[in-house]
């Protein structure tokens, strides 16, 4: 009897070791994908896909690195240090493509249909209270913080100034990340900022600034940010690139499931997404994310090509584009198309 039990125990031990070894082997097979992002609320599709294991379902070990703007990602992206990045279509991107560097816009990250702003012009409260700032024309001569020259946020700023019959040269431009813009408003180092959520609501809630106008008002359906693939990732790891896109879209769709038609979180699904935002971003207050509409993250990943062309034209007019590159050269929808064939169109 004891020998029989011993054999059973031995068999169970061997079986357990085999399962452990198999699990370990599966874990070791995860392919590392390095992703650059700016760690704002509209990175939610990436956060959800990571938190809920959608990337791991596809055999991917996704590793995030935070940058203060998409423009700052261009160098590590071009050198192959990043496989994917999430940020604005910038002049730096077009210039890199013009130099023959293979980089591609592959899907939407956030755009601005009416009623779904991404960024907001915020003026330091003291300037509003004193009467120094009353209309957009009063931006002239003020210290204006934006993320970096030649980004989609710069394109938004350009149109705000255009509405006031002003030029970029009429303001004192400084480059600051979104979190730095909030700090600079608080200590009076800048007069005007153009932050994204959640930094906009933070600046206003704490009394540092006053909301003046939103980007969906000055540039409806602006393609604020996109998902980029490096040429190396797209060419040498194409199957993984398709899997990444599928997982990302699943994350974006979960996010959309938690929103009402105005972009406000609702119900249990909304609360679950808020919990993920609280975990991944610097804001740890659930009530905070219930206080403003989230910008639009397209659940089908569709990119507004016309908007990208308009930003390109503005960059070129400002002298940021240094080559004769075709703006369409860096756009590749094949990975999105493959993912949509598997997932089908979004149904809420």
pLDDT of 21 over the 50 cut: no
Residue 89 DSSP one-character state: -
The model's confidence at residue 2, banded by pLDDT at 50, 70 and 90, is: very low
Spatial separation of the C-alpha atoms in residues 35 and 38, rounded to whole Å: 10
Percent pLDDT > 70 in the chain is 91
Q: Mean pLDDT in the chain?
A: 90
The CA-atom distances, in angstroms, between 210 and each of 126, 184, 199, 205, 207 are 9, 14, 13, 9, 8
Ordered by where they begin, the domains of the chain are 30-113+222-343 (3.40.190.10), 120-218 (3.40.190.10)
pLDDT of 24 over the 60 cut: no
pLDDT of 324 over the 70 cut: yes
Cα of 196 vs its chain's centroid, Å:
10
Predicted confidence at residue 15, as pLDDT, reads 53
Q: What is the mean pLDDT of residues 280-286?
A: 88
207-253 pLDDT per residue, tens: 999 999 999 999 999 999 999 999 999 999 999 999 999 999 999 99
Predicted confidence at residue 12, as pLDDT, reads 52
User: Which stretches of 151-289 are DSSP H helices?
Assistant: 152-163, 178-187, 199-205, 215-218, 231-236, 238-257, 267-280, 286-289
Q: Which two tokens stand for residue 221?
A: 């359906």
The reported pTM is 0.82
The model's confidence at residue 28, banded by pLDDT at 50, 70 and 90, is: low
Single out the residue of 103, 84, 67, 93 nearest to residue 175, CA to CA: 67
Q: What is the mean pLDDT of residues 268-276?
A: 97
The model's confidence at residue 74, banded by pLDDT at 50, 70 and 90, is: confident
The model's confidence at residue 147, banded by pLDDT at 50, 70 and 90, is: confident
Predicted confidence at residue 8, as pLDDT, reads 52
Cross-strand bridge partners of residue 223: 111
Among the residue ranges 68-72, 225-229, 275-279, 281-285, the one predicted with the least confidence is 68-72
Q: What is the mean pLDDT of residues 279-296?
A: 88
Spatial separation of the C-alpha atoms in residues 338 and 228, rounded to whole Å: 16
């Amino acid at each position: 009897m004891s020998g029989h039990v011993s054999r059973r125990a031995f068999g169970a031990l061997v079986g357990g070791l085999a399962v452990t070894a198999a699990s370990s082997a599966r874990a070791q097979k995860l392919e590392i994908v390095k992703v650059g992002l700016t760690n704002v609320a509209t990175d939610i599709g990436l956060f959800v896909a990571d938190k809920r294991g959608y990337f791991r379902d596809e055999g991917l070990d996704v590793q995030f690195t935070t940058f203060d703007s998409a423009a700052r990602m261009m160098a590590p992206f071009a050198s192959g240090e990043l496989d994917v990045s999430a940020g604005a279509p910038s002049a730096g991107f077009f210039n890199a493509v013009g130099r023959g560097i293979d980089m591609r816009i592959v899907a939407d990250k956030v755009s601005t249909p009416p009623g779904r702003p991404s960024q907001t012009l915020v003026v330091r409260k003291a300037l509003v209270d004193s009467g120094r700032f009353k209309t957009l024309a009063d931006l002239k001569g003020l210290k204006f913080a934006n993320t970096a020259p030649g980004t989609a946020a710069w394109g938004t700023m350009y149109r705000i100034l255009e509405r006031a019959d002003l030029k970029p040269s009429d303001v004192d431009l400084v480059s600051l990340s979104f979190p730095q813009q909030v700090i600079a408003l608080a200590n009076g180092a800048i007069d005007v900022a153009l932050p994204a959520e959640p930094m906009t609501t933070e600046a206003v809630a704490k009394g540092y600034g006053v909301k003046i106008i939103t980007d969906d008002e000055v540039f409806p359906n602006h393609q604020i940010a996109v998902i980029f693939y490096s040429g190396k990732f797209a060419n040498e790891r194409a199957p993984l690139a398709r899997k990444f896109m599928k997982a990302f879209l699943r994350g974006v769709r979960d996010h959309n499931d938690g929103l009402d038609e105005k972009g406000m979180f609702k119900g249990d699904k909304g609360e679950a997404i808020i919990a993920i935002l609280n975990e991944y971003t610097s804001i740890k207050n659930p009530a905070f994310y219930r206080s403003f509409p989230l910008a639009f993250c397209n659940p089908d990943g569709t990119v507004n090509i016309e908007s990208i062309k308009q930003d390109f034209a503005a960059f070129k007019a400002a002298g940021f584009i240094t080559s004769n590159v075709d703006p369409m050269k860096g756009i590749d929808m094949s990975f999105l198309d493959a993912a949509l064939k598997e997932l089908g169109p979004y149904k809420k």
